[in-house]
Chain A
Amino acid sequence: MKRFLLPLITFLLLVGFLAVGLRLDPREVPSPLVGKSAPEFSLPQLHEPEKVFSPKDAAGKVWLLNVWASWCGGCKDEHPLLMQLAQGGEVPIYGMDYKDRPEEARAWLRQWGNPYRVTAVDETGRVGIDYGVYGVPETYVIDRSGAIRYKQIGPLTEEVVTRTILPLVKELQDK
Chain B
Amino acid sequence: MIPEVGHFALILALCVGIVQGTLPILGAAKGNLAWMRVARPAARSQFLLISLACACLAYAFAAKDFSVLYVAANANSQLPLPYRLAAVWGAHEGSLLLWTFILTAWMVAVTIFSRHLPEAMRARILAVMGLVSVGFLSFLLSVSNPFERLIPAATDGRDLNPLLQDPGMVLHPPMLYMGYVGFSVAFAFAIAALLGGNLDSSWARWSRPWTTVAWCFLTVGIALGSGWAYYELGWGGWWFWDPVENASFMPWLAGTALIHSLAVTDKRGSFKVWTVLLAIMTFSLSLLGTFLVRSGVLTSVHAFATDPKRGLFILAFLTLVVGGSLLLYAWRAPRVGLGGGFSLVSRESLLLANNVLLVVAMGSVLLGTLYPLILDALGLGKISVGPPYFDAVFVPLMTPAVFLMGIGPIARWKKAELPELGIRVRWAFGISLATALLLPLVLGKWTPLIGLGLLLATWIATTALTNLRERLTRLPGESVFSRLTSLPRSYWGMMLAHGGVAIFIVGVTLVKGYEVEQDVRMNIGETTTIGGYTFRFDGAQEVRGPNYMAARGTFHVSKNGQEVARLFPEKRLYTVQNQTMTEAAIDSGIFRDLYVSLGEQLEGGAWSVRLYHKPFVDWIWGGCLVMALGGAVAIADRRYRFARREEHQGVSAASQAAGQKVA
The listed residue with most A CB atoms (<10 A of its CB), out of B281, B284, B319, is B319
Q: Which residues on A sit within 8 Å (CB–CB) of B277?
A: 7
Is A22 touching B308 in the complex (CB atoms < 8 A)? yes
Question: Which of A7, A12, A26, A30 is within 8 Å of B299, CB to CB?
Answer: A26
Cross-chain contact A7 with B373 (CB below 8 angstroms): no
Report Cα–Cα, A5/B333, bound state, in Å: 10
Closest chain-B Cβ to A131's Cβ sits at a distance in Å of: 17
| A21–B376 touching, CB < 8 Å | yes
Q: Assess the B296–A26 pair: CB atoms within 8 A.
A: yes
Contact B382 A17 (CB under 8 A): no
Whether A18 and B315, one on each chain, are in contact in the complex, defined by CB atoms closer than 8 angstroms, is: yes
B334 and A1 contact, CB distance less than 8 A = yes
> Does the CB pair B312–A8 fall under 8 Å?
no
Q: Are B326 and A11 in contact (CB under 8 A)?
A: yes
User: Is the C-beta of B318 less than 8 angstroms from some C-beta in chain A?
Assistant: yes
B377 at the interface (CB under 8 A from A): yes
Instruction: Tell me if A129 is interfacial: C-beta within 8 Å of chain B.
Output: no
Q: Is the CB of B330 within 8 A of A21?
A: no
CA distance A26 to B329 in the complex (A): 34
Interfacial chain B residues near A12, Cβ < 8 Å = 319, 323
- Greatest chain B CB density within 10 A among A8, A23, A27 is at A8
- Prevailing SS type, chain B contact patch: helix
Do A4 and B377 touch across chains, with their CB atoms under 8 A apart? no
Give the docked Cα–Cα distance between A29 and B375 (Å).
13
Report A-chain residues with C-beta under 8 Å of the C-beta of B376. Answer: 21, 24, 26
Within 8 A of B (CB), among A4-47: 4-5, 7-8, 11-12, 14-15, 17-24, 26-27, 29-30
Verify if B311 is at the interface (C-beta below 8 Å from A): yes
Q: In the complex, which residues of chain A have a beta carbon less than 8 angstroms from the beta carbon of B329?
A: 4, 7-8
Bound complex: CA A122 to CA B372 (Å): 33
Chain B: how many interface residues by the 8 Å CB criterion?
33
**CA distance in complex: A7, B282 (Å):** 13
Q: In the docked arrangement, what's the CA distance between A17 and B288, Å? A: 13
Chain A: minimal CB distance from B309 (Å): 10
Closest chain-A Cβ to B257's Cβ sits at a distance in Å of 14
**A14 and B377 in contact, given A7-B326, A8-B327, A22-B312 (Cβ under 8 angstroms):** no
Asked if B295 is at the interface of the complex by the 8 Å CB criterion, the answer is yes
The reply to whether A22 and B297 form a contact with Cβ atoms under 8 Å apart is yes
Q: Whose C-beta in chain B lies nearest to the C-beta of A18? A: B315
User: Residue-by-residue, is A88-132 near B (CB-CB < 8 Å gives 1, otherwise 0)?
Assistant: 000000000000000000000000000000000000000000000
Residue of B nearest to A23 (CB): B308
A19 touches B315 (CB 8 A): yes
The yes or no answer to B452 lying at the interface (CB within 8 A) is: no
Smallest Cβ distance from A121 to chain B, in angstroms? 25
By beta carbon, the residue of chain A nearest B384 is A29
Map CB proximity to A onto B316-346 as digits: 1 under 8 Å, 0 otherwise: 0011001100110110011000000000000
> How many chain-A residues does the 8 Å CB contact rule pick out?
21
Say yes or no for B298: interface residue by CB 8 A criterion. Answer: yes
Interface-centre pick from A11, A12, A30 (highest chain B CB count, 10 A) = A11
Q: How far apart sit A8 and B377, CA to CA, in the bound complex (Å)?
A: 21
**A29 contacts which chain B residues (CB < 8 A)?**
382
**In the docked arrangement, what's the CA distance between A11 and B370, Å?**
13
Query: Measured between C-beta atoms, what is the minimum distance from A144 to chain B in Å?
Result: 28
- B374: CB under 8 A from chain A? yes
Partner of A22, one of B295, B327, B372: B295
Residues of B close to A4: CB separation below 8 A: 273, 329-330, 333-334
Tell me if B373 and A5 are in contact (CB < 8 A): no
Interchain nearest-CB distance for A154 vs B (Å):
14
The smallest C-beta distance from A28 to any residue of chain B, in angstroms, reads 8
Using Cβ atoms and an 8 Å threshold, which residues of chain A touch B183?
Answer: none
A19, B323: Cα distance in complex, Å: 15
Tell me how far the C-beta of A33 lies from the nearest C-beta in chain B, rounded to whole angstroms.
Answer: 14
Kindly state whether residue B388 has any CB partner on chain A within 8 Å. no
B604 adjacent to chain A (CB < 8 Å): no
Per-position 1/0 for B349-386, Cβ under 8 A of A: 00000000000000000000010111011000110000
Interface centre among B297, B298, B311 (most CB of A within 10 A): B297
**Bound-complex Cα distance A8 to B280 (A):** 11
Q: Is the CB of B330 within 8 A of A11?
A: no
* Distance to closest chain A CB from B189 (angstroms): 18
> What residue of chain B has the Cβ atom nearest to residue A30's Cβ?
B382
Nearest 3 interchain pairs by C-beta:
A20-B377, A8-B326, A4-B330
15 contacts across the A-B interface (CB closer than 8 A): A1-B330, A7-B281, A8-B323, A8-B326, A15-B315, A15-B319, A17-B370, A17-B377, A18-B373, A20-B377, A22-B311, A24-B297, A26-B297, A26-B298, A29-B382
Residues of A within 8 A of B (CB): 1, 4-5, 7-8, 11-12, 14-15, 17-24, 26-27, 29-30
Given contact pairs A11-B326, A29-B382, enumerate 13 new A-B contacts (beta carbons under 8 Å).
A4-B273, A8-B329, A12-B323, A15-B323, A17-B374, A18-B291, A18-B370, A18-B373, A21-B297, A21-B377, A24-B376, A26-B372, A30-B381
